[in-house]
């Protein structure tokens, strides 16, 4: 029996914790980073920011074979906890990517001072073979997403060292 796999990534921002936290729950901002890929386009971003509520983010991506076709990847989330400005927890399902089960994702926003914060994302992938298979792609996806937040929401602050 293999052990449970948890992916954990962090990033620091020169922005108040409240501003970063609120971006996760504001569709106009979230659509600029939430599950967005370099080659895809977010076609839908709906968020109901309440415990028991959830989100739907659809990213339209080009097919891997290089032709003109595209496919939609639908990310569905159900909020388990919303503790502004420190913690979001949701169950995540990704349709059209071969994963049948949801995984638990926790987004922790830790204020470092009034103008900076650190975001840590943890995703519990489970203990099966699929969990190990998805570990590195998930780590890369969350890392890219955290970098995209910096680039999309705070463009003048990119490159600032903390």
Please give the pLDDT value at position 140. 95
Domains of the chain: 5-157 (3.30.530.20)
- How far are the Cα atoms of 13, 109, 131, 134 from residue 86, in angstroms, in the given order? 14, 5, 27, 27
Please give the pLDDT value at position 45. 94
Answer with the residue of higher pLDDT: 14 or 161.
14
Please give the pLDDT value at position 162. 47
Neighbours of 138 (CB within 10 A): 21
Which residues is 60 bridged to in the sheet? 41, 72
pLDDT band at 37 (very low <50, low <70, confident <90, very high): confident
User: Each residue of 91-115: pLDDT tens digit?
Assistant: 999 886 555 578 999 999 999 999 9
Least confident of 16-30, 45-59, 95-109: 95-109
Q: If you average pLDDT over residues 34-54, what whole number do you get?
A: 91
Please give the pLDDT value at position 72. 84
User: Each residue of 132-156: pLDDT tens digit?
Assistant: 888 999 999 999 999 999 888 776 6
Please give the pLDDT value at position 99. 54
- How far are the Cα atoms of 19, 59, 92, 99, 148 from residue 9, in angstroms, in the given order? 19, 22, 17, 21, 14
Mean pLDDT of the chain: 88
pLDDT at 67 over 70: no
**Non-local CB neighbours of 71 within 8 Å, separated by 6+ positions:** 60, 61, 63, 96
Would you say the pTM of this structure is higher than 0.95?
A: no
Closest CA relative to residue 13, chosen from 83, 143, 112, 141: 112
Task: Give the strand pairing for 70-83 and 87-95.
Answer: antiparallel
pLDDT band at 17 (very low <50, low <70, confident <90, very high): very high
């Amino acid at each position: 029996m293999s052990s449970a796999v948890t992916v954990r990534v962090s990033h620091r921002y020169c922005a108040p914790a409240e501003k970063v936290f609120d971006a996760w729950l504001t569709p106009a901002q979230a659509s600029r980073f939430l599950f967005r890929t370099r080659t895809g386009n977010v076609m839908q971003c709906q968020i109901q920011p309440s415990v028991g509520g959830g989100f739907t983010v659809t990213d339209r991506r080009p097919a891997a074979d290089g032709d003109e076709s595209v496919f939609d990847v639908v990310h569905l989330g159900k909020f388990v906890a919303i503790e502004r400005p420190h913690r979001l927890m949701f169950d995540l399902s990704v349709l059209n990517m071969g994963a049948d089960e949801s995984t638990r994702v926790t987004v922790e926003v830790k204020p470092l001072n009034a103008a900076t914060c650190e975001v840590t994302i943890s995703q519990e992938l489970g203990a099966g073979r699929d969990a190990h298979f998805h570990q590195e792609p998930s780590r890369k996806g969350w890392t890219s997403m955290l970098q995209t937040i910096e680039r999309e929401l705070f463009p003048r602050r990119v490159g600032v060292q903390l």
